[in-house]
Amino acid sequence: MTTLTLGTPATYRITIQGYLDSSWSDDFSGLVICNQVAEDGSSSTTLTGWLVDQAALFGVLDGLYGLGFPLLSVECLEFNKKYKK
């Protein structure tokens, strides 16, 4: 069985409360930024993409924290099962 480690490249989906413009993509490791607006008018933003390791993930999370966005979820969608560090 292959397991995820701190150094395994993986694809993540991060959801935050609020609106983050897609122009921030380069500042967040090239993650794809998509915005959603609920019927009640509240907005959320999803950042999705490949990150080299969990240190890069924490860098993205720290950047979002620094901008004041509440974190709703972080999901590992897929990881490179053949990668060994």
**How confident is the model over 2-47, as pLDDT tens digits?**
688 999 999 999 999 999 999 999 999 999 999 999 999 999 999 9
CATH 3.30.70.260 fits 10-79, yes or no: yes
In angstroms, the Cα distances linking 34 to 1, 19, 38, 61 are 33, 9, 13, 16
Give helix then strand counts, H and E, for the chain: 1, 4
What CA–CA distance (Å, rounded) separates 12 from 79? 9
Give pTM, 2 decimals. 0.90
Q: Where are the domains of the chain?
A: 10-79
